Amino acid sequence: QVQLVESGGGLVQTGGSLRLSCAASGGTFSNYGMGWFRLAQGKEREFVAAISRSGGNVVYANSVKGRFTISRDDAKNTVYVQMNSLKPEDTAVYYCAADFGGFVYSETKYYERWGQGTQVTVSS
26, 4 Cβ separation under 8 angstroms: no
- Residue 57's Cβ-side half-sphere holds a number of Cα atoms within 13 Å equal to 12
pLDDT tens column, 14-66: 999 999 999 999 999 999 999 999 999 999 999 999 999 989 999 999 999 99
> CA–CA separation, 68 vs 61, rounded Å?
9
Q: How far apart are the first and last CA of the chain?
A: 40
Average pLDDT, the chain: 97
What is the predicted pLDDT for the residue at 95? 98
Task: Transcribe 67-100 into DSSP letters.
Answer: TEEEEEEGGGTEEEEEE-S--GGG-EEEEEEEET
User: Is residue 1 very low, low, confident or very high in pLDDT (cuts 50, 70, 90)?
Assistant: confident
